[in-house]
């Protein structure tokens, strides 16, 4: 195992820091704001993982934005959504 492979607690700490940030941080700002020290190479591996798993994206000014839909309000809204089916007759009916 490489010396820069993150542990689960490190990954969760960085995830929490992104989610709890009041303003969207840059990588350097986020790294400096972490509650405990992490090697920068390890930090970058976690950032790679978060991007690959679609939990974060980088804005045009290189700030990190949390985009993973784990918001309880969003979950409730998605659970209560109504699905609309297209009509089976008339102008919008599917052609056979």
Residue 46's H or E segment, with its range, is helix 40-52
Share of the chain above pLDDT 70, in %: 80
Domain limits of the chain? 8-79
pLDDT 10s digits, 12-41: 999 999 988 888 889 999 999 999 999 999
* CATH architecture of structural domain 8-79: Orthogonal Bundle (1.10)
Whether residue 58 has pLDDT greater than 90: yes
Q: Which pTM value belongs to this model?
A: 0.69
Q: Report DSSP state, residue 70.
A: -
List the one residue out of 53, 50, 61 whose CA is nearest residue 11.
50
In whole angstroms, what is the distance from residue 2 CA to residue 42 CA? 10
Angle separating helix axes 40-52 and 8-20, nearest 10 degrees: 70
């Amino acid at each position: 195992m490489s010396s820069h492979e993150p542990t689960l607690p490190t990954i969760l700490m960085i995830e929490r820091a992104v989610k709890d940030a009041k303003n969207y941080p840059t990588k350097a700002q986020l790294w400096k704001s972490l509650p405990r020290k992490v090697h920068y190479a390890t930090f970058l591996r976690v950032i790679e993982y978060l991007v690959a798993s679609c939990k974060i994206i980088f804005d045009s000014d290189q700030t990190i934005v949390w985009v993973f839909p784990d918001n309880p309000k969003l979950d409730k809204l998605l659970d209560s959504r109504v699905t609309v089916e297209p009509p089976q007759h008339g102008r919008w009916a599917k052609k056979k």
